[in-house]
Amino acid sequence: MNKCNPFVIQGYKGKTYFCDREEETTRLVDYINNQVNVTLFAFRRLGKTGLIRHVFELLKSNKKIVCIYVDILGTNNLTEFINQLATGIYNAFPPNKSLGKKIIETIQSLRPIISFDELSGNPTVTFNSARQEQQANTMGQLFAFLDQQNVNVVFAIDEFQQILTYPEKNIEALLRTQMQQLKKTTFIYCGSNQKMMHEIFNSAKRPFFASCTNLYLDFIPKEKYVLFIGKTFKRYKKTITDDAVDFICEFTMLHTFYTQYFCNRLFTKNIDKININDVKTTALEILKVQEPTFYQYRNLLTVGQWKMLKAIAKHERLYQPNAKDFITTNNLGSPSMVTRGIEALLTKEMVFYDTAVEKPYYEVYNKYLMRWLQTK
């Protein structure tokens, strides 16, 4: 029996450890097979990257499809973006196959510096040209080259909203133009920041408007998660009572990372018959361990923002931040102060605003912080 913790909290470890997402997987595979460009929206830590990894794993056996994944969260400008894409391409093709050799030759003909990442040992491609036309040209050549090969390419660009922070202003137009010319390449644009992603894809004045099909990733349904948790413990000859699983789902509000993390911690305790008291103890322990981080958050926010955060946590889901009742009970000052406070918390990603439901609401992002604030 596998000794590693079956509740994965980092990366993707295979379909045995992956809960549900069957419908989304089918849809995504279908889009890829039909070369439909997709935007994948969801809150942070809900499972976007996991879903892409899962789908790419399934497509691995298809020799006609090459999947390339790049995460651009760490990039700050067009040069870094292109370097990241080139690195993704460079690493996606096995260098011992003829196509891999061709790709490497093509990249090398563009004269990059190829170095090795100190930690992972993976090759990193860096182009040094400072001129924007030159950079765009490099990107165009790479895409065009890929598109001429006898394979379909799927390009997943994770944390795509990051392009809005680049100093170059025409990057969307540039990308869109190049994307349009490709015949055998499908793009998956993935992003957590709802507002920024909407700005790129749903604004009629922008280059990407109406260029992709939107896929919203929702919370995993409770019945699916309950089954997954029970089944996973059972594989290790452990049982968990229904009320204990219910408690976990409720405590973490089914926000994937927090649910996974909870079960991961619980698993390490090596209890054979898990009951409600065990999960309550685990909950308290998790909050205790995270407490120093919560105090750090407090130091990073203004007194007003912290008070606002606490008020939102207590409401769990806040529908009307400008309601008189809410403002006076929580002593938040004027409606304009509330508006500014919420704006700041949204920007800092301490709070999210869910607009994909009939009645939009605000909620504290970090479920453990939310539970901890509720006890204060």
Ligand X SMILES: Nc1ncnc2c1ncn2[C@@H]1O[C@H](COP(=O)(O)OP(=O)(O)O)[C@@H](O)[C@H]1O
Q: What are the residues binding Mg ion (CB under 5 A)?
A: 49
For 168, the token pair is 């170059």
Residue of 6, 18, 233, 305 that binds ligand X (CB under 6 A): 18
Give phi and psi for 369, each to the nearest 5.
-60, -40
For 242, the token pair is 């229904």
47 makes contact, choosing from ligand X, Mg ion, none, with CB < 5 to 8 Å by partner type, with: ligand X
In the complex, the smallest distance separating the C-beta of residue 337 from ligand X, rounded to whole angstroms, is 31
Distances (CA, A) of 164 to 15, 72, 172, 185: 34, 11, 9, 23
In the complex, the smallest distance separating the C-beta of residue 364 from ligand X, rounded to whole angstroms, is 16
Q: Where are the alpha helices (DSSP H) in 93-131?
A: 98-109
Rg of the chain (C-alpha set):
23
In the complex, the smallest distance separating the C-beta of residue 159 from ligand X, rounded to whole angstroms, is 8
50 makes contact, choosing from ligand X, Mg ion, none, with CB < 5 to 8 Å by partner type, with: ligand X
Bridge partners of 155, per DSSP, are 68, 187
How many Å apart are CA 9 and CA 264, to the nearest integer?
7
Q: Nearer Cβ to ligand X, position 260 or 305?
A: 260
> Around 287, how many Cα atoms within 13 Å sit in the side-chain half-sphere?
17
44 makes contact, choosing from ligand X, Mg ion, none, with CB < 5 to 8 Å by partner type, with: ligand X
Question: What b/e readout covers 233-259, taking b as 16+ CB neighbours within 10 angstroms?
Answer: beeeebebbeebbebbbebbbbbbbbb
187 makes contact, choosing from ligand X, Mg ion, none, with CB < 5 to 8 Å by partner type, with: none
Indicate whether 88 belongs to the interface with ligand X (CB under 6 A). no
Indicate whether 9 belongs to the interface with ligand X (CB under 6 A). yes
For 102, the token pair is 């061709």
**Four-CA torsion 117, 120, 125, 129, nearest 10 degrees:** -40
224 makes contact, choosing from Mg ion, ligand X, none, with CB < 5 to 8 Å by partner type, with: none
201 makes contact, choosing from Mg ion, ligand X, none, with CB < 5 to 8 Å by partner type, with: none
Map the footprint of ligand X across residues 166-205, applying CB under 6 A: 192
Q: Build a one-symbol-per-residue string for 40-69: x at contacts with ligand X by CB under 6 A, - elsewhere.
A: --x-xxxxxxx-------------------
Indicate whether 254 belongs to the interface with ligand X (CB under 6 A). no
One DSSP character per residue, 280-348 reads HHHHHHHHHHHHHHHHHHHHHS-HHHHHHHHHHHHHSSBS-TT-HHHHHHTT---HHHHHHHHHHHHHT
Map the footprint of ligand X across residues 321-350, applying CB under 6 A: none
How many Å apart are CA 297 and CA 242, to the nearest integer?
34
In the complex, the smallest distance separating the C-beta of residue 10 from ligand X, rounded to whole angstroms, is 5
Stretch touching ligand X by CB under 6 A, among 4-12, 23-31, 205-213, 263-271: 4-12
162 makes contact, choosing from Mg ion, ligand X, none, with CB < 5 to 8 Å by partner type, with: none
In the complex, the smallest distance separating the C-beta of residue 267 from ligand X, rounded to whole angstroms, is 13
Indicate whether 256 belongs to the interface with ligand X (CB under 6 A). yes
Stretch touching ligand X by CB under 6 A, among 15-23, 99-107, 134-142, 315-323: 15-23
198 makes contact, choosing from Mg ion, ligand X, none, with CB < 5 to 8 Å by partner type, with: none
For 4, the token pair is 């590693």
Under 8 Å CB-to-CB from 67, ≥6 apart: which residues? 56, 59, 60, 92, 153, 154, 156
Q: Nearer Cβ to ligand X, position 50 or 207?
A: 50
The SS3 of residue 75 is coil
Q: Nearer Cβ to Mg ion, position 49 or 138?
A: 49
The answer to whether 267 and 244 are in contact (CB under 8 A) is no
Residue of 257, 267, 365, 372 that binds ligand X (CB under 6 A): 257
Q: What does the binding site for ligand X look like in residue numbers (CB under 6 A)? A: 8-11, 18-21, 42, 44-50, 192, 256-257, 260
